[in-house]
Amino acid sequence: MALIEIDDFSYQYPVSDDFALKNITFSIEQGDFVGVIGPNGSGKTTLCNAIRGFVPSFYKGISFGQILFEGKDLSKISSGELAVRIGYIFQNPFNQISYIKDTVFEELCFGLENLGVEASEIIRRVEAIIDELGIGYLKDKNPFEISGGQQQRVALASILVMDPDVLVIDEPTSQLDPVGTEQVFAIIDLVKQKGKTVILVEHKIDLVAEYADKIIVMDKGRIAFFGPTREILSDERLLDHDTQIPVYARIGHRLRKAGKPVERIPITHEETVVLLRDLMNHK
C-alpha cells in the first residue's frame, strides 16, 4: 500500500472560476523524495496544500476525488494528527514563526508544547535537533533578528523536531542567496538520509536533480509528467510546458545533436564531468 494515494483529485478555490488542480492521480511510497516543478501558477503550492490537508478543509472551495494517507481518507484524519504526521515548510519562514516567542530555542519548543509533550522530553528533542542541524549559535537569538537563510533553517528545525513521517517543503530557497540555499539543502539532505518521505517544490532544477528520486511536472493545474528523476529531467519535452531541464541535460543534448556518442543524458554536475572525461578519452 502506498503511503499517499491521490485519485482523480480536483480542487477549486472559492474566489476562482477555474480549478487549480485538475484530475490529479499519483501515489507516493514511504521514503520517496519527490520533486515538484513547473511554471508559476501551475498548481504546485495548491498540490502541497492538498497533501497537507489544507484544501478544502482550511481554504474551503470545491473538491472532487480522493486523497488517502496510509489508506485513510485524508479529510477524515484530525487536524492534530495531520500536524504531527505531515510537516509543512512554507515558502516564507515568517509564516512559520509563532510571533510569540523571544528566542529560537523557545520557538522550537512551541509546537511540542502545543501537543502536550512533557517538558523534559521537549528539552531533549529540541537540544537534539539543534545539535543535529548545527544551529546552536542561534538558540538564544530572536527569530526576527537573524538572516533569511537562518530563519528558514529554524523553520525546518521547528517541523523536524516534531518528527513527522512526511515533510512537504514549498520553495524553501526562493528568497535565499547561494549561501542560504546551501545551508537549507544541507538540512534537506539530512532528512533524505533518514529515509523520510519528502515532497519538495523547488524552482532550482539542478538542485532537484541532485536529491529527488521522482519528479512531478505541473502545468495548468494538471500533471504533465510523473516518473523517475532521470527519465523526466532529461526529457526535452519539458520545454513545451514552460519548464527548464537541468543545464547539464542541455549540455548532453547539445553534444548528442553534434554527433557525439552520448548514451545517457547527464542531469548532475558529477555525471557531466564523467561524460566529458569519457568523450575526451575516446577522441
> How does 42-79 read in b/e, with b if 16+ C-beta sit within 10 Å?
bbbbbbbbbbbbbbbeebebebebebbbeeeebeebee
Please state the pTM of the whole predicted model.
0.92
Q: What is the pLDDT of residue 176?
A: 85
Domain count, the chain: 1
Mean pLDDT of 253-267: 94
> Does a structural domain hold residue 280?
no
Q: What is the pLDDT of residue 262?
A: 93
Residue for grid cell 472560476: 17
Mean pLDDT of 96-102: 87
> Does a structural domain hold residue 234?
yes
Strand residues in 4-60 grouped as ranges (E): 4-12, 21-28, 33-37
CATH number (domain holding residue 239): 3.40.50.300
Mean pLDDT of 67-96: 92
Residue for grid cell 523571544: 102
> Does a structural domain hold residue 253?
no
Q: What is the pLDDT of residue 183?
A: 86
> Does a structural domain hold residue 121?
yes
pLDDT digits (tens, 9 = 90+) for 150-191: 999 999 999 999 999 999 999 998 888 888 888 888 888 888
Q: What is the pLDDT of residue 283?
A: 64
Show the cell assigned to 127.
537540544
Q: What is the mean pLDDT of the chain?
A: 93
CB atoms within 10 A of CB 215: 24
> Does a structural domain hold residue 177?
yes
> Does a structural domain hold residue 278?
no
Q: What is the pLDDT of residue 181?
A: 87
pLDDT digits (tens, 9 = 90+) for 35-76: 999 999 999 999 999 999 999 989 999 999 999 999 999 999
Range of the domain at 223: 2-245
Q: What is the pLDDT of residue 232?
A: 96
pLDDT at 140 over 70: yes
Confidence band (pLDDT; 50, 70, 90) for 94?
confident
Mean pLDDT of 224-253: 93
pLDDT at 33 over 80: yes
Show the cell assigned to 55.
484544501
> Does a structural domain hold residue 186?
yes
Show the cell assigned to 98.
509563532
Which bin fits 61, alpha (ψ -120 to 50), beta or left (φ > 0)? left
> Does a structural domain hold residue 270?
no
Q: What is the pLDDT of residue 95?
A: 85
